Amino acid sequence: MLDALEVIQTQNAELERRFADRLRVNSRLNRQLVSFQANKNKPIYRWFKYKEGFSEALVQYLVQALQIGSGKMLDPFAGTGTALFAASNHGLDSLGIELLPVGYEIIQVRQQIHGREDEMKAVVDRWRKERPWLKSPEPLEVVFPHLRITSGAFPHDTELVLRQYMAALSSEPPKAARLLRFAAMCVLEEISYTRKDGQYLRWDYRATRKQGAKPFNKGKILTFDEAITSKLRQISDDLQPNQGMLELFPVNQPHGNIQIIEGSCLEHLPKLETASFDCLITSPPYVNRYDYTRTYALELAMLGVDEYRLRDLRQSMVSCTVENKDKPELMTLFSPERYRAASASFEGQSELQSILDYLEKLRGAKALNNPGIPRMVRNYFFEMALVIFDCARLLRPGGTVAMVNDNVRYGGAIIPVDLILSDFAEQAGFDVEVIWVLPTGKGNSSQQMGAHGREELRKCIYIWRRRG
């Protein structure tokens, strides 16, 4: 195994030398900017804690630095719509594709508010003042639609009041009810025994569910009344004139149209018109085993996602968890030409193939902490090759791609995601102009550091331009 790891290190070094003139540290970038951190206290963005994504400030920086002055932007991994709304503020039309119903709902609610700020603020203020959920009778017919992995997430009294709130929504018009339901969705973690923790929900020791080896104490768990009145106040404040909504929809400049498609980009990209976009700004899932269907399970349950759809969502996403299976249907979704070209690029990427061979050997020796890791890594890169090749079809000549992603490490082998995807991009029809490297990288998991030592991994933004 040691010899195989040395081969990978040698090949990675050769690949890095090939891109050396385009790997540049950008001192303007930092981890706060290239993450949700720069959004979390901003009006509108602070309503819902969505950690998987970048900041509005980063999109503004990219649009200005890359001199994207007009046209239409694509984000195939739209998340909560940060790139879409930021691009709209610069006058760009945009189209996003988002698989997770949580992100899709957030985007839809934001769009719904536009032009109805005073009306929606009045609804929020009325509910905050009158608390109609406390006046409704016990909601015998209204239940929180738990999934198996969310059962027991709330204290009994908390769940009862949550159900009363949900029952009271029926007295409101659809648009008002949707915003008010969204407000409740924003506080589910605060009122529950759970905390989002990357690959799963971590459960507080006070929950009735079986705990892990080390008891976890999440601290104070808010009552529903405490949490929802605070959230409604926050939303009301951000709907004030000259507050958050002006950031989202500037009044003194034209804003671009926003279109959102719910579903997987693997299904919907092939349906889009060739050469119909001028730029692409996105951050795909990282190949880091994070399972968004678990971390956002409470919110998905509230949105009516059942067990069957949950499994379908998990399987439909670009492979980033050890539970993702092969997707044979991809052969029929993409054109034969694109499928063959992406497959050839994937199979011919020698550094990647060495890493996959190494991971398979570790799996056979039972030296990985999960046997699904090799399949996940293989499918991730194959699916991303398909995405990259089809995005080359969708961009007009001269169109720019800005993609945020992280490198990872498994079994001691660093996987240079930035360079492998950039290699795919060159073969797909892009010029790799620059790979901006953050001045400070990221560490490894405690398991990786314990077994193989600490080695900082690059965090990057790739800038590719479509050849004419």
Which of 220, 244, 268 terminates a domain? The answer is: 244
Q: Is the pLDDT of residue 249 over 50?
A: no
Q: Write down the pLDDT at residue 452.
A: 41
User: Mean pLDDT throughout 287-301?
Assistant: 94
Same domain, 285 and 179: no
Q: Could you tell me if residue 304 is inside a domain?
A: yes
In percent, how much of the chain has pLDDT > 90? 81
In percent, how much of the chain has pLDDT > 70? 93
Q: Write down the pLDDT at residue 461.
A: 97
Look-up: residue for tokens 């001199």?
A: 67
Query: What distance in Å separates the CA atoms of residue 462 and residue 320, rounded to the nearest whole number?
Result: 19
User: Mean pLDDT throughout 320-337?
Assistant: 95
pLDDT mean across residues, the chain: 91
More confident site: 301 or 244: 301
Query: What distance in Å separates the CA atoms of residue 359 and residue 39, rounded to the nearest whole number?
Result: 37
Q: Is the pLDDT of residue 450 over 60?
A: no
Q: Write down the pLDDT at residue 449.
A: 38
Torsions phi, psi of 196, nearest 5? -65, 135
Look up the CATH number of the domain holding residue 343: 3.40.50.150
Look-up: residue for tokens 């002006």?
A: 246
Same domain, 346 and 236: no
Which distant-in-sequence residues (6+ apart) come within 8 Å of 188 by Cβ? 153, 298, 299, 302
Q: Is the pLDDT of residue 441 over 80?
A: no
Q: Within 13 Å of residue 246, how many CA atoms lie on the same side as its CB?
A: 7
Counting the structural domains of the chain, the total is: 2
Query: What distance in Å separates the CA atoms of residue 257 and residue 274, rounded to the nearest whole number?
Result: 20
Q: Write down the pLDDT at residue 2.
A: 59
Query: What distance in Å separates the CA atoms of residue 84 and residue 225, rounded to the nearest whole number?
Result: 33
Full domain range(s) for residue 312: 2-101+250-466
User: Mean pLDDT throughout 21-26?
Assistant: 96
Does the predicted model carry a pTM greater than 0.85? yes
Same domain, 460 and 326: yes
Nearest to 387 by CA among 341, 433, 419, 356: 341
Q: Could you tell me if residue 107 is inside a domain?
A: no
Same domain, 224 and 301: no
Strands 23-25, 258-262: pairing kind: unpaired
Q: Could you tell me if residue 106 is inside a domain?
A: no
Range with the poorest average pLDDT among 199-203, 344-348, 386-390 = 199-203
Residue 181: left (phi > 0), alpha (psi -120 to 50), or beta? alpha
In the structure, what pLDDT confidence band is assigned to residue 243 with cuts at 50, 70 and 90? low
> What number of other Cβ atoms are within 10 A of residue 145's Cβ?
14
Q: Write down the pLDDT at residue 253.
A: 55
Which of 244, 271, 292 terminates a domain? The answer is: 244
Residue 14: exposure state from Cβ atoms within 10 A (0-12, 13-18, ≥19): exposed
Query: What distance in Å separates the CA atoms of residue 390 and residue 398, rounded to the nearest whole number?
Result: 16
Q: Could you tell me if residue 24 is inside a domain?
A: yes
The residues facing 415 across adjacent strands are 408
Query: What distance in Å separates the CA atoms of residue 115 and residue 78, rounded to the nearest whole number?
Result: 22
> What number of other Cβ atoms are within 10 A of residue 330's Cβ?
18
Q: Write down the pLDDT at residue 321.
A: 93
Strand segments (E) across 183-324:
194-197, 200-203, 258-262, 277-282
Structure-block tokens of residue 460: 């990057």
Q: Is the pLDDT of residue 454 over 70?
A: no
Same domain, 270 and 395: yes
Same domain, 62 and 148: no
Range with the poorest average pLDDT among 18-32, 247-261, 418-432 = 247-261
Q: Write down the pLDDT at residue 1.
A: 60
Query: What distance in Å separates the CA atoms of residue 403 and residue 385, rounded to the nearest whole number?
Result: 14
In the structure, what pLDDT confidence band is assigned to residue 200 with cuts at 50, 70 and 90? confident
Strands 408-410, 395-406: pairing kind: unpaired
Which of 225, 244, 263 terminates a domain? The answer is: 244
18-55 exposure pattern, b = at least 16 Cβ within 10 A, e = fewer: ebeebbeebeebbeebbbbebbeebbbbbbbebebbbb
